[in-house]
Amino acid sequence: MKSCPDTDILTEPSCFTHFIQDVSDDTLPEKFTFPFCYEPHPIAVKATTELQLRLEEMNITNHDFGLEDGQSGVGKMFGVLVVKTHDEVLGYLSAFSGKLGQSNHYPGFVPPVFDTHDLTGFYKKGEEEINLINRRIEKLESAEEYLQNKTLLENKKNEAASSVKSLKNEIKLAKISRDARRKEVAAETYDAVNEILNQESITYHYRLKELNKYWKQRLEDIQQQLNIFQAQIQAHKDDRRQRSALLQKKLFEQYAFLNQQNQKKNLIDIFEITDELTPPSGAGECAAPKLLQYAFRHHLIPVAMAEFWWGKSPASEIRKHGHFYPACNGKCKPILSHMLEGIPMDENPMLTNPAIGKKLPVIMEDDFILIVNKPAEFLSVPGKKIVDSVFSRVRMMYPKATGPLIVHRLDMSTSGIMLIAKTKEIHQHLQSQFIKRKIKKKYVAILDGCITGTEGEIDLPIRVDLDDRPRQIVCYQYGKPALTLWQVAEQTENGTRVYFYPHTGRTHQLRVHAAHPSGLGTPITGDDLYGTRADRLYLHAETLDFIHPITKEWVHVECKPDF
């Protein structure tokens, strides 16, 4: 398929798509979309709707999106960038992350920043040279003589170890026998017999020495034969490593990103790459950088942007077909920080204190502990940019309190019971109960849809998404164990009220376990990370049971949600 021509200056480049319907009534945004946390502007939603209609009509046969029953494929992130020409003509650009099937180029979609699949380009040629070295290494490592010598060396090592061990056992038994004979010999003949026994000991000593010498020489002879092959193999591996490093460096240099001032920065500059560091895998291949690169190269003015998932979710992540998602932090944030430099953008909502005007109600208090009802969108502890939190509020309330105060945390978006210790000793006692899982917790949530079943357990290990913090993913290889019991409290036409009983306390555990297909497959209402944004996250820590550190009695605390 032909890609969009990459001419330098065109009034309307071929990837520029006119809106199907008149958009004159749409009020354009005053500022560009903040890409890492946003509600898509209506004009971006309109462009998205048009692109999704195109996707439904397109016959992309070489990529399985997993949309049909029985398909095992996986979806793809798409993006739209609403732009204006300098003649004030409004339209939009379309892009997909990575490649579709084995191609980077489809009609109507912007090309990659650099095409690693160009068969005539340096990257494919460099890959072929490295693959040729790999084949040489494989040929040497599978050579019959090489494999025979490896097997022979291993067998002789085992034979040597067995032979030496056998002689050592013989020496040990002989020593026991000599010691017994010395005790039995008569005094008048002791010196003569002892001399004979000493000579026997010396003989064994030399026998062991000669045996070790023999096997050392024998093994060295075989190793020398192996060294001939291993030297050739290592030479090829060194050559491969050097070629790979040079190829990778040249590739990083080709990913040179523009901004509106026509300034270029490549991946090496953006990620400040050293010999030990490389950018995240796939950096520069996401939809957002591709869209902006094309816009700046063709002198188009960015107006608004949105990205959405199309197809089946990956096994480890939580992606909903057709839902909007922000740009990722690990790969895109450093690149977009350069590309969007100087462009007025919407305010970063993460820099706005969500706790302004909110009170921190006290549920229960004595001389040792404090229990509060944390509102939704209220930090448990200070963040990088925002200090206001449960910790800072409690510190102001009790300036003479000692210790860390916060015994456990709730996500910023989660409301409900939080336990505070007024002294370091009380904190240690309560934390020990959490660590030993003696404390019982119950959460209530409203799911964004109906589910089957009335109760069960979810056992899905979780770890952070290294490319998109703070998002969590399910990972059976590196994830930490996470177990949640659940029970349906009420089922309605539009949602499900559920009780959660977490046995572990992983970050976003309940949110991931609710949304993931291997969990309940239905996100919590208002979950902006794993579902759809609403007025709040409908998750609340409702009850807490613990042993009082002083009275040693069980304490039951309950706090109903306001939803």
Question: Which of 411, 448, 468, 527 does the annotation list as catalytic?
Answer: 411
- Interhelix angle 144-184/190-254, rounded to 10 degrees, is 150
Is residue 152 helix, strand or coil? helix
Pick from 63, 55, 101: nearest CA to 80: 55
> Measuring CA to CA, which residue among 327, 336, 378 is closest to residue 536?
378
Helix (H, G, I), strand (E, B) or coil at 195: helix
Alpha-carbon distance values, 282 to 47, 99, 323, 330, 391 (Å): 26, 11, 22, 10, 39
Give the Cα separation of 77 and 287 in Å (integer).
7
Distances (CA, A) of 530 to 151, 165, 325, 533: 53, 62, 9, 9
Contact indicator for 286, 280 with CB cutoff of 8 Å:
no
Residue 109 CA to residue 17 CA, distance in Å, equals 10
- Whether 411 is catalytic is yes
Cis peptide before 470 (omega within 30 of 0): yes
3-class secondary-structure state, position 465: coil
Is residue 187 within 8 A of residue 172, CB to CB? The reply is no
Calculate the alpha carbon distances from 131 to 122, 247, 282, 432, 549 in Å. Answer: 14, 13, 21, 55, 65
**Which residues lie below 8 Å from residue 413, measured CB to CB, with a gap of 6+?**
376, 377, 526, 527, 528, 536, 537, 539
For residue 390, CA distances in Å to 30, 327, 355, 418, 501 come to: 35, 29, 10, 9, 23
CA pair distance 51, 329, nearest whole angstrom: 25
Rounded-to-integer distance, Cα 408 and Cα 417, Å: 10
Question: How far is 14 from 297, CA to CA, in rounded Å?
Answer: 13
Q: What are phi and psi of 116, to 5 degrees?
A: -75, -10
Q: Are 443 and 437 contacting, i.e. CB atoms less than 8 angstroms apart? A: no
For residues 26 and 551, give the distance between their C-alpha atoms in angstroms, rounded to a whole number.
65
Instruction: Please report, in angstroms and rounded to a whole number, the separation of the first and last CA atoms in the chain.
Output: 53
Return the active site residues. Answer: 411
